[in-house]
Amino acid sequence: MEDTLIIPPVIFGHYALFFDLDGTLAEIKPHPDQVALPEEVLGALKQLAALNDGALALISGRSMVELDQLASPYRFPLAGVHGAERRDIDGNTHVFTLPESLILQLQALLETSLVHLPGTELEAKGMAFALHYRQAPEYEEAIMSLASAVVRDHPQLALQPGKCVVEIKPKGINKGEAIAAFMAEAPFHGRTPLFIGDDLTDEYGFDVVNKMNGMSVKVGQGETKAQWRLANVASVWEWVTEVANQQQQQIAHNKGGNQYGSLSRRL
């Protein structure tokens, strides 16, 4: 896809909105605990959710606990750990689990292995493991080799590379499946999906959204299945805020009139 693409107008009242978090709604930091969402961005997300009957969800590799902390004081529908755990609009949770014995076995193996790769970090998510090497990029090949060996020995697992991280997760779990699950439920069902993401893990979501004739938006450079592109996180913030304000103005000034927004920009 081209690096400079037009974002078409958002149609008021007919979209289901999905957002990745790290690298999309929030700048990537050296450590995940350093990430935060600006108050004005959170407010714009809440406004968009209210204007679209609650059809807005966060889709992330982070756990739902982390997503709730970052989105506080608001509580959105969520898909965490790439969809291995999901919370719908009614607060019902859907969690994919692995046998406890396998989780303990893998955690012990990975912790022992990473001791020999200083600067790398293991993030245990319960049903998945993230091997971070942002602080030690020289170990990328070793991390990939380790993760590949684990998946090769356990065919029920799959590998998911990302930006300076590789995740080991249950096979068949991805952000595209999470979006599809939301789209089968109220209030998302019957709407046109829009998904904004930045990483390889988001390509599954772009693929599903494209097949539903929705809007797929890539943040940053790189090859992608997405149809449109935003330059960076700051551009996402600007876009989210502008669309939220525009939709609010449509309700206030054009109630019962034209429901099409005028946002059409080259980014």
The domain limits of the chain are 11-94+173-266, 100-170
Q: For 178-227, what is each residue's pLDDT tens digit?
A: 999 999 999 999 999 999 999 999 999 999 999 999 999 999 998 999 99
Instruction: State residue 102's pLDDT score.
Output: 94
| Closest C-alpha among 259, 239, 240 to residue 249 | 259
Q: What percent of the chain has pLDDT above 70?
A: 90
Evaluate if residue 252 carries a pLDDT over 80: no
- Catalytic residue ranges: 20
Q: What is the mean pLDDT of residues 26-45?
A: 90
Hey, do 11-94+173-266 and 100-170 end up sharing a CATH topology, with the first three levels equal?
A: no
Q: What is the mean pLDDT of residues 66-81?
A: 96
Instruction: State residue 172's pLDDT score.
Output: 86
| Inter-residue contact 244 to 206 (CB < 8 Å) | no
Q: What is the mean pLDDT of residues 17-44?
A: 92
The CATH class of 11-94+173-266 is: alpha beta
Q: What is the mean pLDDT of residues 62-88?
A: 96
Q: Which CATH number fits domain 100-170: 3.10.20.30, 3.30.70.1020, 3.40.50.920, 3.40.640.10?
A: 3.30.70.1020
Q: pTM of the prediction?
A: 0.83
Distance of CA 30 to the CA centre of its chain: 18
Evaluate if residue 139 carries a pLDDT over 80: yes
